[in-house]
Amino acid sequence: MPEMPEVQGLTTFLDERAVGRTITRATVAAIAALKTYDPPITALQGRTITACARLGKFVVLSCGDDLHLVFHLAKAGWLRWYDALPTTLLKPGKSPIALRIALDDGSGFDLTEAGTKKSLAVSVVRDPQEVPGIARLGPDPLDPAFTREAFAALLDERRMQIKGLLRDQAVIAGIGNAYSDEILHAARMSPYAIAGKLDDAEIDRLFAALRETLTEAIAEASGKPPADLKDAKRRGMQVHARRGEACPVCGDTVRSVFFADRSLEYCPTCQTGGKVLADRRLSRLLK
C-alpha cells in the first residue's frame, strides 16, 4: 500500500509535471472507483490544474479553489504517468485502469489497481474536506506543529497497541503497515507495546524514530518518477516484507505475525527482548 513517502513522491512529481496544464479529458474506466457524482467528472475538462497537495495518503489535484480531484490509491492502486498518453480506447473491466486524465500537452496519467479487491477511491469535490477520509485525518507527523509534546498527548492513556495506533489515520495521518513496522524497529519497540504505558524515554525514542524514518523515506522518494517509487520503498525497508532475512542491525532473523489481510514484521532481538511473538495464523492451524 502506498504510504506517506510514496504519496509525497507522487505529489511532488505531479506538482512538477501537471500543475499549469489543462485537463482535456477525464475518463472513468472503473465506475466503482468514482465515489462522487456532483460535481460530475466531466467538470474537470477544460480546467487548469493550479496546485497539487498531499493530505495523509490522499492526493489532491486542485483546479482553482472550487474544484478538486482527490484520489486514494488504497492497497493495490498506483499512478502510471505518460509523457505521451496512449490513444487506445479504454474498455471498462478489461484492464487495471480505473481513471485516465489527459492533459493539453499530450501527457497524462492513469490510476490503476491490481487484484480483485477494488478499493481505489476517486472523488471530484468543491472542497477536499468533503471527502470523508480527509475529514477524519489526524495530524501530519511531519508538520512542524507535530512536536514531541503533541505526540505524547496522543499516546496519553490510550490502551491501544502502538502498532495499531501508528496505523490509525484518525490519530496520525499517512503511516500504514509498512512504515509502522519500520518506525517500531528503529525505535527498538514491540508492536504490542501499549501506547498509554510508554515512559518518557520510550516516547522520546519512538518520536525520533518516527520523524527520522519518514524524513529519510521522503528524501529517498524525492525526484523519482512514479515507476521507480515502489522499488525505492522496498530497498529502504529494514524489516517490513523481509521475513526470514537477517536483521541489518543485529543479524537475528526477521519474523512475521500474520493477520487476516496483512502481516507485521519485527526483529525479536531488537524489539521484543528475544521473544518470538505468536503467529496467530500458525496457531489456528495447529489447533
The reply to whether 242 belongs to the active site is no
**Which entry of 3, 6, 113, 182 is annotated as an active-site residue?**
3
The reply to whether 2 belongs to the active site is yes
Categorise residue 261: left if φ over 0, alpha if ψ from -120 to 50, beta otherwise.
alpha
**Which entry of 262, 275, 280, 281 is annotated as an active-site residue?**
262
| Residue 211 buriedness (CB in 10 A; 0-12 / 13-18 / 19+) | middle
**Which entry of 21, 47, 54, 57 is annotated as an active-site residue?**
57
The reply to whether 3 belongs to the active site is yes
The reply to whether 197 belongs to the active site is no
Catalytic residue numbers? 2-3, 57, 262
